Homo-oligomer: A and B are copies of this chain.
């Protein structure tokens, strides 16, 4: 029997922060595909506030601890939104070139070891910027920066031959999603927003392919 294990690695959007249903998009996605027949186990390894470099630094130890050698082990990643955050008085957290360099090295590391899918960063929450994600921290997000990083990520994914899902285009065009960013914790989308992301990824042929093999 197939013993499918999936690690979702990334930042607060992977974690599902601010979702009143406590599932996030990853939980909703797995719920749709849940089956005891292939024994789906999944691990949510999203950490709030992490940049690409921080996600990259821990992914391997955390995934290896969760993947038995005998199982069908796979990884889904999403990151980058924190890199573009501009901290009041300090500037942008990580410059675009450095993010792309880290992203490429990260995806290379993962894809050398496991099947991997890359979900792009979500739209910036300009409407609620600047926001205070934790005590003593004030951050602003710009959509121009998110759009630019998403384009660079697409190019990088193509180069590495890793499937990339562009969340920017469909979510920016979705008024309900954009308004979900202004509800909830006013930093992330609320549950309705996470459900929209789950729907998009659920219909993605690269994800679907993992279940029809």
Q: Is the CB of A36 within 8 A of B70?
A: no
Q: Is the CB of B34 within 8 A of A47?
A: no
**Of A15-23, A120-128, A171-179, which binds chain B?**
A15-23
Q: Is the CB of A22 within 8 A of B15?
A: no
- A27 CB-CB contact with B under 8 Å: yes
- Copies held by the complex: 2
**Which residues of chain A from 37 to 82 have any CB-CB distance to chain B below 8 Å in the complex?**
39, 41-44, 47-49, 58, 61-62, 65-66, 68, 70-71
Q: Is the CB of B27 within 8 A of A31?
A: no
Closest 4 CB pairs of A and B: A70-B135, A22-B31, A22-B27, A22-B30
Could you list some 22 contacts between A and B, CB below 8 A? A3-B135, A12-B41, A15-B41, A15-B43, A17-B41, A20-B31, A21-B31, A22-B23, A22-B28, A22-B30, A22-B31, A22-B42, A23-B23, A27-B27, A39-B185, A43-B44, A43-B47, A49-B68, A58-B65, A68-B134, A70-B136, A70-B137
